[in-house]
Structure 1
Amino acid sequence: MTADPASARNVLGEFLRARRARLQPTDLGLPQGTGNRRTPGLRREELAALSGVSVDYYTRLEQGKEHHPSGPVLTALARALRLDEDARDHLFDLADQLAGRAPRRRVDNTVRPGIRQILDTLRPCPAYVRNRTNDILAANPEGLALLAGIAEWPPERRNTTRYLFLHPTARTLYPDWTHAARMSVAQLRAASRGDNDDAALTALLEELTAASPEFAELWEHHDVRHRRTERKTLNHPVVGTLTLMYESLDVGPDGTRLGVYQAVPGTPDHEAMTLLSLAASAA
């Protein structure tokens, strides 16, 4: 399975098809029917019936021939597809892009001096600032040291999704690498919001699709997730295993956010984090 980067394509239709394929009739109380089903998941007519729209309308929507789905139609589709809150918001974002209702994105990778001061103040907690495509725009020493090996790359290559899929150390740093990779791709999918005009996103997707079959397959799943807080366990080559609480805070326009890792003072995890800070300072 391969993934295509964002381009001048029907991203709303792709999302609907991918999510429709993941549902079986029996999941929604429909009869399975007899004979072999050539369509994976729900058929178009089944989803149309569940959503209360005509088959012809839904087909045109999925094919990119209908550009202005209403709010009630989108709500009905989200309900029929059993989308969670993140995926529902993504569906509406895609529809806004299709209809030209989305505001023009303002790309600004500048990190304010006050945010850089916060990064220093947070030490020894690892912290970094990322844009919506997961480029690291600024970091304290601990933030780079936590992602073991990423500092070997030039600053313009330091991207946490790229690190997960293309840096060999990431495979051992994350004990559950599959979960970390799946969540990173789902977050990137959510951040993309169906944007066909973001050159940086397009370049990143092209690079990762060509270099990693695993990324290509996960991208085609159309999972969507906004990661705000999460407990992360890492097998760090310098300080050993530590579990930290991760928090993500919006600090700028268009998805710029501050990521902070914390541990309760007096715990072994906090001691390991402090050792990481000492090692980062000595490097």
Structure 2
Amino acid sequence: MLGEFLKAHRARVNPEDAGLPSHTQRKVKGLRREEVAVLAGVSADYYARLEQGRETNPSAQVLDALSRALKLDTDARAHLHRLAGVVADEGHAPDVVSPALRQLISGMHDMPAFVMNSVLDILAMNALAEALYDPFTPADNAARMTFLDPAAVSFYPRWQWVAQSTVAHLRGVADPKSPRLKQIVEALSESALFTELWEQHEVRGKTQDAKDFVHPAVGPLTFVYHSFDVREAPGQQLVIYRAEPGSPTADALRLLATSRATRAAASPGTTPVPLWLTGTAKSRP
């Protein structure tokens, strides 16, 4: 089946789209085997063996190269890895949030919304989420914010529960081989509570739950939050906080949004640039 998949998809690639001349007469539709091999950086003989089923153990690196050569989308790439019996890694720039998703969350004016990766780095936020997490300096990684930022204890009325949930999420979702996870765990190890919870190996994942906060500017807030996997970027999650219409939280959110807009208007050009746009890694744990 692996060979059939490769053959079918190379027939779909326009040679011009692959940067190859198409004016010559072609006996096959799409790309030739030799052309796929060149684009993927493997030998023509090796690629031929893959299509013929005589080579059945390609590496993840070879599969990724073939995915690029054949211009596979996220779903097709994952399927190629499954056919080869190889787990697809997350080397597809999981920290890059698509412009379409950024536009989507920016249009959510009455709900805080943000995008995180599997190790809880906050990759993008809308204006209301920035206002919500304004007490943290910076609002860059949910785990670092929970354990190492002094604002956390007063911001989270159930701080101990949030701490437990955060660690259980990291255990259950993050790739244990991820260098970024190792970096975060090392940084958070200065927290005795984190070390204790990490050693318990509890695993927990959530897609919906209640969230309670105490914001220094507007007081107590209660949300229902929803978390959605971003299919175009495996490892990313879109998180949305929803307040019940007519509730004190909804009123407080409007006040928070108005206050932030007023401050921004009073100091044009001084709004801090989000860290995920600057490329600065030093602020992350």
| TM tier, smaller | 0.5 to 0.7
Determine which structure has more spread, i.e. the larger CA radius of gyration: 2
List aligned pairs for 1:105-144, cutoff 5 A: 105-108=90-93, 109-144=95-130
The C-alpha deviation readout for 1:126-179, integer Å capped at 9, x for no partner, is: 1111111111111012112212423x32xxx71011000011111001111000
Quote the offset at 1:260 in angstroms.
0.7
Quote the offset at 1:101 in angstroms.
5.3
Q: Secondary structure at the match of 2:193?
A: helix
List aligned pairs for 1:64-213, cutoff 5 A: 102-108=87-93, 109-150=95-136, 152-153=137-138, 158-193=140-175, 195-196=176-177, 198-209=178-189, 211-213=190-192
Identity of aligned pairs, percent? 36
Partners of 2:234 and 2:192 in 1: CA distance? 29
Residue number in structure 1 paired with 2:32: none
Aligned 8 A contact 2:111 2:241 in 1: yes
Quote the offset at 1:254 in angstroms.
3.0
Q: Secondary structure at the match of 1:244?
A: strand
Partners of 1:228 and 1:200 in 2: CA distance? 23
Residue number in structure 2 paired with 1:21: none
Alignment of 1:257 with 2:243, yes or no, is no
List aligned pairs for 1:38-49, cutoff 5 A: none
Partners of 1:201 and 1:127 in 2: CA distance? 23
Moved more, 168-177 or 139-148: 139-148
Whose helix fraction is larger, Structure 1's or Structure 2's?
1
Greater RCO (Cα-Cα under 8 Å, separation 6 or more): 1
Question: Where does the alignment leave 5 or more consecutive residues of structure 1 unmatched?
Answer: 1-99
Partners of 2:245 and 2:141 in 1: CA distance? 29
Partners of 1:232 and 1:255 in 2: CA distance? 22
Partners of 1:219 and 1:267 in 2: CA distance? 37
The C-alpha deviation readout for 1:2-49, integer Å capped at 9, x for no partner, is: xxxxxxxxxxxxxxxxxxxxxxxxxxxxxxxxxxxxxxxxxxxxxxxx
Aligned 8 A contact 2:165 2:204 in 1: yes
The letter of the residue matching 1:174 is Y
List aligned pairs for 1:22-41, cutoff 5 A: none
Residue number in structure 2 paired with 1:241: 220
Residue number in structure 1 paired with 2:19: none
Aligned 8 A contact 2:135 2:216 in 1: no
Partners of 1:183 and 1:107 in 2: CA distance? 27
Query: Following superposition, which runs of at least 4 residues in structure 1 exceed 4 angstroms of deviation?
Result: none
Partners of 2:181 and 2:146 in 1: CA distance? 16
Aligned 8 A contact 1:128 1:139 in 2: yes
The letter of the residue matching 2:164 is R
Residue number in structure 1 paired with 2:250: 270
Partners of 1:166 and 1:178 in 2: CA distance? 13
Question: Where does the alignment leave 5 or more consecutive residues of structure 2 unmatched?
Answer: 1-84, 264-285
**TM-score, normalised on structure 2?**
0.59
Alignment of 1:219 with 2:198, yes or no, is yes
Q: Secondary structure at the match of 1:230?
A: strand
Partners of 1:104 and 1:258 in 2: CA distance? 20
The change in CA–CA distance for 1:227 and 1:280 in structure 2 (over 3 A counts) is farther
**TM-score, normalised on structure 1?**
0.59
The change in CA–CA distance for 1:107 and 1:178 in structure 2 (over 3 A counts) is farther
The C-alpha deviation readout for 1:221-266, integer Å capped at 9, x for no partner, is: 1111112111111111011111111111111433201111111222
Q: Secondary structure at the match of 2:253?
A: helix
Aligned 8 A contact 1:249 1:259 in 2: yes
